[in-house]
Amino acid sequence: MIFDWNSKTILIAEDEPANFLFIEKIINPSQATIIRAETGEEAIEILKQNPQIDLVLMDIYMPGMDGFETTEIIRQLRPGLPVVAQTFYENQIEKQKVISAKFDDFISKPININKLLVILEKYLKSESQTA
């Protein structure tokens, strides 16, 4: 599938450069605009300054404000904005915490490329075409 998200803006909250570059490489062919935040605080500031953001891909464990706390604030600022959690589950309790949090969806690390694209498409709804 080829996804056309050229009119969409995705905020990727991810502190690890390698993880961000991997996600960016997956999304780039869609032509979506990508904005990166390396901390929760930075994600909130970017969101306030960019009302065109269509979706947030949120790492759970970042320095300073984590993804849970950041998402709580995002829900206050933009209640309908889709927030997709991304994390590596260390145990079943952590997995349950992510599932029960206020995320619209989640993807576990290591990220499955096809699963990520399907989740993003679910919230961005492009005019996709068969390759």
pLDDT value, residue 68: 92
DSSP designation for 107: E
pTM flag (> 0.85): yes
pLDDT for position 87: 84
From residue 77, how far is each of 2, 49, 109, 128 by CA, in Å? 32, 12, 27, 30
pLDDT for residue 92:
65
Query: 70-97: buried (b, 16+ CB within 10 Å) or exposed (e) per residue?
Result: bbebbeeeeeebbbbbbbebeeeeeeee
Q: Which regions in the chain score pLDDT beneath 50?
A: 127-131
Note the pLDDT of residue 131: 43
Measure the CA–CA gap between 47 and 35, rounded to whole angstroms. Answer: 10
Architecture of domain 9-124: 3-Layer(aba) Sandwich (3.40)
Bridge partners of 105? 84
Q: Give me the pLDDT at residue 106, please.
A: 87
CB 76, CB 51: distance < 8 Å: no
